[in-house]
Chain A
Amino acid sequence: MASITLDQIRHAYNPNPVSDADYALREVDHEWVDGGAYALLGPSGCGKTTLLNIISGLLHPSHGRILFDGKDVTGLSTQARNIAQVFQFPVIYDTMTVYDNLAFPLRNRKVPEAEVDRRVREMLDIIDLADWSKRKARGLTADQKQKISLGRGLVRNDVNAILFDEPLTVIDPHMKWVLRSQLKRLHKKFGFTMVYVTHDQTEALTFADKVVVMFEGQIVQIGTPAELFEKPRHTFVGYFIGSPGMNIMPVRLEGSAVLLGQERLDLVAAASVNPADRLELGIRPEFIRLGQSGLPVTVTRVEDIGRRKIVRAELQGQPIAAVVNEDTEIPTDAHVSFDPAGLNLYANSWRVEERA
């Protein structure tokens, strides 16, 4: 396993990029630690797949270098990079048995057959397919096939990193849970470096130590799930993570406070703001309390989604969403109050950091 250094990587599919808009990937400059689990999260077209392909060696970046454990691999082919990859649709060798599928990467590397057998059997146990070893791989279900793809990567002990390209797309919801926690367990046990591309926030957040949120070819934030939830650096992160996403409301600056419609809110961050900036207040639905006191709102709709209720309301003419427990009664004369810990101020879409 290895650390991955992305050294000022830019990529354009167009051979003569002129403006920023020509770049599918604008500038990525990060170091990902050995043994970390990273998720690349973003909407389609945000550049996450481009970045993954650059790491796997399928794409050569227009600018910049990529290093594994400090060694420049920019010019190396996919084979030479020693990585494993699990694809969106299961890639298995139909005509081989489950056992032979797992043995394939080892036999290709001329590993002695006794060693192949030992490692394959061990892997069959790890991915819970020992009973299926003699079956032809094509008759298996989608989740079993994905486990084989993963196993083919893990069976080699020389891989630098394991890449996942939306691996749970074709898996039924119930199996997703099983596969995800199994993957997490394997990661805890073996500690390999993993990079996981997805547009599904639940997958990204539950899988990764660090989530890399991408938007329009840029990394807008790298953080732990908690950081992304509590302190989104950009309004896009606030919107994209969480369902429903963060409430973003335009506000005006007034001294050390901000005005939301007619309501005045004191904010520490307001002190560090340039008055010319476009200001917005961000608060997640989870940080809004519904009760008899606070700011008056008009409830427009209540969605019962099982374990929680989403309350859609209007506050000072702005739509706002709040999330409450399934047992909560919605008061007729509803008021909301904001948990100060959940308030974020945004200037030109970027979060205003409090001065220490």
Chain B
Amino acid sequence: MNKTYNNKAWFFVLPVLLLVAFSAAIPLMTVVNYSVQDTFGNNEFFWAGTDWFDEILHSDRFWDALGRNLFFSFIILAIEIPLGIFIALNMPKKGIGVPVCLVLMALPLLIPWNVVGTIWQVFGRVDIGLLGRTLASLGIDYNYVRDPLDAWITVIVMDVWHWTSLVVLLCYAGLVSIPDAYYQAAKIDGASRWAVFRYIQLPKMKRVLLIAVLLRFMDSFMIYTEPFVVTGGGPGNSTTFLSIDLVKMAVGQFDLGPAAAMSIVYFLIILLLSWVFYTVMTSSDAEEGGRDHG
């Protein structure tokens, strides 16, 4: 691949670097600062060393929330990725159906998180919500305020509704880039529907799928707004994810030190898991080799 070398190019990256510095790097440093000190506000700080980290890593509360997060992300990926692929495969490739489908798919993505939460919160209420009432009238005992399982189902369905279209759109982009000749060749070779998917569509979607999995993992692992709006972390602690716990700790209890330590651990976990995902998925790519010179 040919590249142009021109030092001026750095100049164009500068605004972004500044933005990132103010929006991410500096706050992160502040958090690091808080995590090793004890404070009650008033700008009085006492050195705490790794105490907060010890406390966090030895608390059941943290590990329970982490477990819930991992389980939640797992469920989300297990539903949204196959469902997204399935919908993308069945979307029309040409004609008037294409823009219609694309707009329909994009709609949930345009709705802000808290609105999605509010919509579902109302939608699922047993007294006035369409869904809640319908289920109740069908004799199904559904109540996300009381029953942890119902709360989980609500949060998951909500996330699937909100974010599956992202996976769909990414996969669809990968699919439309496959030339017709491939499908024609597969027909001639007598390939089954499954073989076409396995040997033509899946390999071509691999790169976008990697991005989809990464985005959906990171995002679902950091889930906050929707469960906060709908369940507020309850019933009990059943939908208290790390992020919700973090806010409770920092804002509710004003334990800034432990909260800071927790957010750093949280951050490192996301970083680590993202890296693992990325390496696993790209290494299988590399081993298949093939040097593409331009």
Residues of B within 8 A of A138 (CB): 288-290
A197 within 8 A of B: no
B185 within 8 A of A: yes
CB distance from B205 to the nearest CB of A (A): 12
Alpha-carbon separation in the docked complex, A75 to B167 (Å)? 38
Pick from A78, A95, A136: contact of B188, CB below 8 A. A78
Most buried by A among B188, B199, B200, B290: B188
Most buried by A among B179, B181, B190: B190
Determine the residue in chain B with the shortest Cβ distance to A95. B203
Contact B181 A84 (CB under 8 A): no
Known: A89-B179, A108-B195. A83 touches B291 (CB 8 A): no
Contact A95 B192 (CB under 8 A): no
Residues of A within 8 A of B200 (CB): 93
Known: A95-B199, A136-B290, A139-B291. A108 touches B191 (CB 8 A): yes
Residues of A within 8 A of B179 (CB): 89, 91
Contact B181 A88 (CB under 8 A): yes
Pick from A78, A96, A139, A153: contact of B184, CB below 8 A. A78
A105 within 8 A of B: yes
B93 within 8 A of A: no
Determine the residue in chain B with the shortest Cβ distance to A155. B189
A85 within 8 A of B: yes
Contact mask for chain A residues 80-102; partner B; CB cutoff 8 A; 1 contact, 0 none: 00011101110101111000000
Determine the residue in chain A with the shortest Cβ distance to B191. A108
CB distance from B93 to the nearest CB of A (A): 15
Residues of B within 8 A of A105 (CB): 188-190
Pick from B185, B191, B288: contact of A95, CB below 8 A. B288
Interface residue tally on B, bucketed by range: 10 to 19
Alpha-carbon separation in the docked complex, A139 to B290 (Å)? 4
Alpha-carbon separation in the docked complex, A87 to B179 (Å)? 11
A262 within 8 A of B: no
Alpha-carbon separation in the docked complex, A152 to B203 (Å)? 20
CB distance from A59 to the nearest CB of B (A): 11
Contact A152 B189 (CB under 8 A): yes
Contact B189 A108 (CB under 8 A): yes
Alpha-carbon separation in the docked complex, A157 to B209 (Å)? 38
Alpha-carbon separation in the docked complex, A297 to B157 (Å)? 86
A77 within 8 A of B: yes
Known: A79-B190, A104-B191, A108-B195. A91 touches B185 (CB 8 A): yes
Residues of A within 8 A of B187 (CB): 77-79
CB distance from A119 to the nearest CB of B (A): 14
Determine the residue in chain A with the shortest Cβ distance to B198. A95
Known: A79-B190, A139-B291, A152-B189. A93 touches B184 (CB 8 A): no
Contact B185 A149 (CB under 8 A): yes
Alpha-carbon separation in the docked complex, A113 to B192 (Å)? 18
B63 within 8 A of A: no
Known: A136-B289, A139-B289, A139-B291. A96 touches B199 (CB 8 A): yes
A268 within 8 A of B: no
Residues of A within 8 A of B192 (CB): 108
CB distance from A226 to the nearest CB of B (A): 34
Alpha-carbon separation in the docked complex, A76 to B203 (Å)? 30
Residues of B within 8 A of A104 (CB): 189, 191, 195, 199
Known: A95-B203, A108-B195. A56 touches B184 (CB 8 A): yes
Top 9 closest pairs, chain A to chain B, by CB: A108-B190, A105-B189, A139-B290, A138-B290, A91-B185, A87-B181, A93-B199, A78-B187, A95-B203
13 contacts between A and B (CB under 8 A): A56-B184, A79-B188, A87-B181, A91-B179, A91-B181, A93-B200, A94-B290, A96-B199, A104-B199, A105-B189, A108-B190, A136-B288, A138-B289
